[in-house]
Amino acid sequence: MRDYTLGKTGITVPQNAFGALPIQRVTVDEAVSLLRNAYDGGMRFFDTARAYSDSEIKIGKAFEGMRDKVYISSKTQAVTKDKFFEDLDISLKNLKTDYIDIYQLHCAARCYNEEDEIYNALVEAKKQGKIRHIGITAHKIGVAEDIVRSGLYETLQFPFSYLASDRDIELVKSCAEHGMGFIAMKGLSGGLLTDSSACMAFMSLYEALPIWGIQRQSELDEWLSFFDKEVSMTEEIKAVIDKDRKELLGEFCRGCGYCMPCTVDIQINQCARMIQMIRRSPSANFLSDFWQQEMLKIDSCVECGICKTRCPYELDIPTLLKKNLEDYKEILAGKPI
C-alpha cells in the first residue's frame, strides 16, 4: 500500500481512506466498530460532513481519546459566515475535537474567492486554529478547474473512478502540479463498479486519495485486504476496466441524490440508473413488486425540471428516467437481461 501526501498540507496517509457517508445508515455501535476496525486495519483518513446526519457523532465517539492518531475531514454547505461558524462549531462538538484537519465547502456551485465571505470565513477559522487546512468539493468539472487555477484551496474533492474522462484525469494531474491535494470521491461511481481490485489498481496510478464509502464489515474487509496484498494494473484488470467503460460511459446517474426530493415522489437516484443496477446486481432484487411500483411512478413525471437544476452532472433526468422505464418494461415483458 503506497502512501499519498495531500499536496502542501503535508498530510501523508495510506492511499486507502474511509468515506463516512454510509455509516449514517447503521447504528452507533455498528459504526464505531467499523471505524475502529478501519483504524486497526491501517486506514488513517476519515471523511464526513455536516450533511451526513449523525456521521460526525459516530466518528467522534469512535476516536475519542485518540484524536492525534487520525486525520478527519468534514464539510459545510454554508454560504454565509454566520452559518459557516454555526456548522463548524457543531462539527467540532460532534467530533469531540478542537480542530478539524481539513474543512471543506461542500458541493460548491463555483470557486469562492477572497471577495466572498464564505472563503474569508475559512481563512479566519484556520487562523483561529479550528481548522488546519482549507478544502472544497465540487461535482462540475468546470468549477473544479477554476478552483485549481485559483490557488486558494489546499485540497479538492471531486468524483474520480476508472470511468473518468481525459478531462477528469487532467484535473488530477493539474492538482499535483499546483501542489494541491486531490481527494477522490465516488470511486465506485455510485455502486456501479464492483471490482475492488480494478478500482484500487486504477487509483494507484494517480496522485489521489480515494475515500471508499463503507457501510458493512464485509465491504471494509475488502478494502483492508489491500494493505496485505499489492495491487497493480495488469492486463486482466485492464480488460475489466475496458469492459465496464464500454458498458457505462456516457450519461448515467451516480445515485448521489442531490436531485431529490421529487415533486411526484419518484426515487430518482435509483430509478434513473435502473438499467445499470439491474444488470450489475442480482436482478431479482429490482424486479420485486416494490420496485415495479417505484418504476411505474415515472409515468407520472410532470417534467417540472426541478431535478435537472439540482443535478451536479447536468443530466437530462426526465429523459433518463423514461429511457430506464422503457428498458424496465421490456425486461418485465421477457427481454433478456
CA-nearest of 102, 207, 185, 105 to 150 is: 105
Rounded CA-CA distance 320/318 in Å is 5
* Residue 107 included in any domain: yes
pLDDT in tens, 54-89: 999 999 999 999 999 999 999 999 999 999 999 999
The reply to whether 50 and 143 lie within a common domain is yes
> Which of 12, 59, 9, 10 has the alpha carbon at shortest distance from 39?
59
pLDDT over threshold 80, residue 282: no
Q: Is 255 helix (H, G, I), strand (E, B) or coil?
A: coil
**Residue 4 backbone phi and psi in degrees, to 5:** -135, 135
- The cell numbers describing 149, all together, are 487555477
Same domain as 181, residue 33: yes
Query: What is the CATH number for 40?
Result: 3.20.20.100
- Strand partners of residue 133: 102
* Residue 242 domain-assigned (yes or no): no
Task: Compute the distance between CA of residue 239 and CA of residue 243 in angstroms, rounded to an integer.
Answer: 6
Quick one: 66 and 202 in the same domain?
Answer: yes
Residue 283 has pLDDT above 90, yes or no: no
Residues 173 and 302 in one domain: no
Cα of 137 vs its chain's centroid, Å: 9
Last residue of a domain, one of 187, 211, 234: 234
Residues 309 and 211 in one domain: no
Instruction: Pull the grid cell for residue 113.
Output: 474567492
CB 279 within 8 Å of CB 337: yes
Q: Give CA–CA dist 206/204, Å, rounded.
A: 6
pLDDT digits (tens, 9 = 90+) for 232-264: 999 999 999 999 998 888 778 888 888 999 999
Range of the structural domain that residue 317 is part of: 268-332
H-helix or E-strand containing 29?
A: helix 28-41
* Domain match, 186 and 277 both: no
* Residue 18 pLDDT exceeds 80: yes
Q: What is the rounded distance in angstroms from the CA atom of residue 161 to the CA atom of residue 211?
A: 11
State the catalytic residue, choosing from 52, 71, 119, 206.
52
204 and 308 in one domain? no
Tell me whether residue 175 is in a domain: yes
Per-residue pLDDT reduced to its tens digit, 203-243: 999 999 999 999 999 999 999 999 999 899 999 999 999 99
Specify whether 119 is catalytic: no
pLDDT at 174: 98
Same domain (yes/no): 33, 182: yes
- Are 57 and 147 in a shared domain? yes
Contact between 160 and 168 (Cβ < 8 Å): yes
Same domain, 158 and 278: no
Give a yes or no: residue 261 inside a domain: no
What confidence score (pLDDT) does residue 182 get? 98
Q: Decide if 149 is inside a domain.
A: yes
Q: Whole-prediction pTM value?
A: 0.88
pLDDT, residue 254, reads 83
Average pLDDT over residues 185-208: 94
127-132 long-range CB contacts below 8 Å, 24 or more apart?
A: 129/98, 129/99, 130/88, 130/92, 130/98, 130/99, 130/100, 130/103, 131/88, 131/99, 131/100, 131/101, 131/102, 131/103, 132/9, 132/99, 132/100, 132/101, 132/102
pLDDT of residue 250: 77
Quote the pLDDT of residue 110: 96
Helices and strands, counts by H and E, the chain: 14, 10
Q: How many CB atoms lie within 10 A of CB 294?
A: 17
Is residue 257 in a domain?
Answer: no
* Structural domain contains residue 224: yes
Segment 136-189, tens digit of pLDDT = 999 999 999 999 999 999 999 999 999 999 999 999 999 999 999 999 999 998
Residues 286-319 pLDDT 10s: 999 999 999 999 999 999 999 999 998 889 999 9
- Which of helix, strand or coil describes residue 223? helix
Q: Are 106 and 138 in contact (CB under 8 A)?
A: no
The Cβ of residue 287 has, within 10 Å, a number of other Cβ atoms equal to: 16
**What per-residue confidence (pLDDT) applies to 200?**
97
On whether both 216 and 275 belong to a single domain, the answer is no
Euclidean distance between CA atoms 176 and 170, whole angstroms: 10
* Cβ-contact 91, 100 below 8 angstroms: yes
- pLDDT, tens only, 106-129: 999 999 999 999 999 999 999 999
Domain count, the chain: 2
Instruction: Please name which of 84, 157, 73 lies closest in space to residue 119, comparing C-alpha atoms.
Output: 84
Looking at the predicted structure, is the pLDDT value of residue 279 above 90?
no
What does the pLDDT read at residue 276?
Answer: 85
Span 311-331, average pLDDT? 92
- For residues 30 and 217, what is the distance between their CA atoms, to the nearest angstrom? 9
> Has residue 337 got a pLDDT over 90?
no
**Co-location of 278 and 322 in the same domain:** yes
Q: Indicate the residue among 179, 211, 234 that finishes a domain.
A: 234
Look at 255 and 100; give whichever has higher pLDDT. 100
Q: Is residue 119 part of a domain?
A: yes
